[in-house]
A and B are shown apart, each in its own frame.
Chain A
Amino acid sequence: MPIIKVENLVKRFNGLTAVNDISFEVDKGTIFGFLGPNGAGKTTTINILCTLLSPTSGNASIAGHDCKTESSDVRRSIGIVFQDTTLDKDLTAYENLMFHSYLYNVKRSEMKERIHDVLHFIGMYERKNDLVKKFSGGMKRRLEVARGMLHRPGVLFLDEPTLGLDPQTRANLWEFIVELPQKHNVTVFMTTHYMEEAEVCDRIAIIDNGRLIAVDTPDDLKKTLGGDVIYIKSSDNKKARSEIEKMFGLEVSEKDGELFMTCSMGDSCIPEIIRSISDVQSVRLQRPTLNDVFLKMTGKDIREEEMSEGDVFKETIRSHRRRFG
């Protein structure tokens, strides 16, 4: 059952079309990934869905509520972790969560327990009374996810949740993001431009230049590439090559002393190939990645960027903000 519905959504910023006629649906209880390079229109789409921007045209709804006309109902049913941190660094972790509970009118009697629960969930209970400015990037991100979950939303938006984090921290954060749908009965809508991260999604939408290029499961997207690539090295490549071509009808090429071929079911192909040719020295299988998919569909690579200069600048400014007061 779809919980998010988007129909022919368009958003223009005086002349620039950031979101160009996109439509898709997200099923309840799934993880949906929005994949695209910088400036593709991911954040703009999220901002429309969470009622911070109104679309130029088209419709969007969450849990049956229209994002344009029923914004309070939409706001009540979503939690969101923005691309740039929105924690108050001069408050403690606990105070940030308290602030959020009041904003969402969480029952006074449940507040404490819920805050303690989410703090345990992200493993930061011991740090609850520390100021947020003392936290690492990963801790802040976890705290933001916890905050987004505090009022038990039906849909959780995560805009680049792992941007600027080291690989170890990214992995940890992912471990608990993938648990969210089962443990907390929430639908996760996330954006990323890290390809590996998109693999864990149930479904992926690929967006480029404001246009939706494909929406499918990661596996089906990869299947469009025609299958896995098998690399084989034998003592007599020439002989092996002609044998494989004759027996399996595959097109085989040679590169750097290795034979390679594309085959739809790589894992079951390999044993047969090995059996039929003599003297195999090495075999490896390369599965297509989402990056290959993206490459094929858009003709370009998704760039991976660390924290932009602008963000670093803001962080610096922020710590000096008191000078003005």
Chain B
Amino acid sequence: MVEANVIYVLVAREFKKFVRDKSRLISTLVRPLIWLFLVGGGMSRLVTPELGMSYMKFIFPGILGMTILFSSIFSSLSIIWDKEFGMMKEILVAPVSRFSVVIGKALSGTLISVIQTVIILMLFPFLGIKMGLLSICYAVAIAVLLSFCISSLGIIIATFYDSFESFSVIMNFIIMPMFFLSGAMYPVNKLPHVLQVITRINPLTYGVDALKHVLLGDSGIVDFPIVTDISVLAVSSLLFVAAAGFLFERKK
């Protein structure tokens, strides 16, 4: 039911286009850097005492989460382009299972997101973070899991849209709230109660929390045990990918 040839070629296609498109690579790397150094650097003086560490250091896991959020969702939303410009028809009329297409797309998003995340991750020495090879591997593993989860969520979103006209709706009502309500920029427990509830149903929260465990150690600003983080991410990945497969299968 899951065809390796289909998954391979979908990932290869996305990877080729990613490597070829320098402007996309640069813009997706510049966004986290702006947030890290311009926003983080600026805020550093205001909030440092409460956190017990520099604000830039505090938001670094969140910035990695942001990199993952944006690149995974954007990769999946390329399905909307594929629909609008016809490429999706070429895929859907081929003798391949819809589920393979979903897995292939989710893995494409994962690969591209992880590449970008690893590049940003390598800035850790400049922020006064100490990581051994093992922690780096843990961080990458979390990035893989979170990227897969968010990419699958992106596919679900993409199945509801046939054109990019609604892009700003997706941006303003899904992506930005997910980012701000994930504990990426401020500790979750500083939020009003209603918003705290939302953070708990946001998968990004658990990804960012897991990254905080690995990058910042147990300095008291994590919200959940790492086992909870990983379990939530794993379960929601499975749910999302199954839902995406189901939604993809529908025929008019």
Contact = CB atoms under 8 A, between A and B. Distances in A.
Residue among A85, A91, A98, A105 with max Cβ neighbours from chain B (10 Å): A105
Given A314-B84, A314-B85, A95 B16 contact: yes
B8 to A, nearest CB: 7
A82 B251 contact: no
Given A52-B92, A318-B85, A325-B21, A102 B6 contact: yes
A84 to B, nearest CB: 5
Nearest to B8: A102
B17 interface: yes
A99 interface: yes
Contacts of B23: 322
A323 to B, nearest CB: 9
Interface stretch (B54-62, B93-101, B123-131, B216-224): B93-101
A103 B96 contact: yes
Given A52-B93, A76-B95, A104-B95, A84 B86 contact: yes
A213 interface: no
Contacts, number: 81
A325 B90 contact: no
Nearest to A89: B85
Residue among B5, B6, B74 with max Cβ neighbours from chain A (10 Å): B5
B168 to A, nearest CB: 10
Nearest to B85: A318
B91 interface: yes
Residue among B20, B81, B94 with max Cβ neighbours from chain A (10 Å): B94
B93 A88 contact: no
Contacts of B17: 88, 90-91
A86 B95 contact: no
B9 A102 contact: yes
B87 A86 contact: yes
B93 A91 contact: no
A321 interface: yes
A142 B148 CA distance: 38
The secondary structure that dominates the B interface is helix
Size range of the chain A interface in the assembly: 35 or more
Contacts of B20: 90
B85 A90 contact: no
Contacts of A89: 85
Contact of B3 (A51, A84, A85, A105): A105
Contacts of A50: 93
B18 to A, nearest CB: 10
Interface string B206-250: 000000000000000000000000000000000000000000000
B252 A54 contact: yes
Given A54-B251, A102-B5, A88 B87 contact: yes
A80 B93 contact: yes
Interface in B62-93: 74, 81, 84-87, 89-93
A72 interface: yes
A297 interface: no
B86 A325 contact: no
Residue among B23, B84, B90, B91 with max Cβ neighbours from chain A (10 Å): B90
A104 B93 contact: no
Contacts of B251: 52-54
Given A75-B94, A103-B9, 16 more contacts: A52-B251, A53-B251, A73-B95, A75-B95, A78-B93, A82-B89, A85-B85, A86-B90, A88-B17, A88-B87, A90-B21, A104-B94, A104-B95, A321-B81, A322-B24, A325-B74
21 contacts: A53-B251, A73-B95, A75-B93, A75-B95, A82-B86, A84-B86, A86-B85, A87-B87, A87-B90, A88-B87, A90-B20, A95-B13, A100-B90, A100-B94, A103-B91, A103-B94, A103-B96, A104-B94, A105-B5, A318-B85, A321-B164
Listed from nearest, the 8 A-B pairs whose CB atoms lie closest are A102-B9, A86-B86, A75-B95, A103-B94, A86-B90, A325-B24, A76-B95, A72-B95
Interface of A: 50-54, 72-73, 75-76, 78, 80, 82, 84-91, 95, 98-100, 102-105, 314, 317-318, 321-322, 324-325
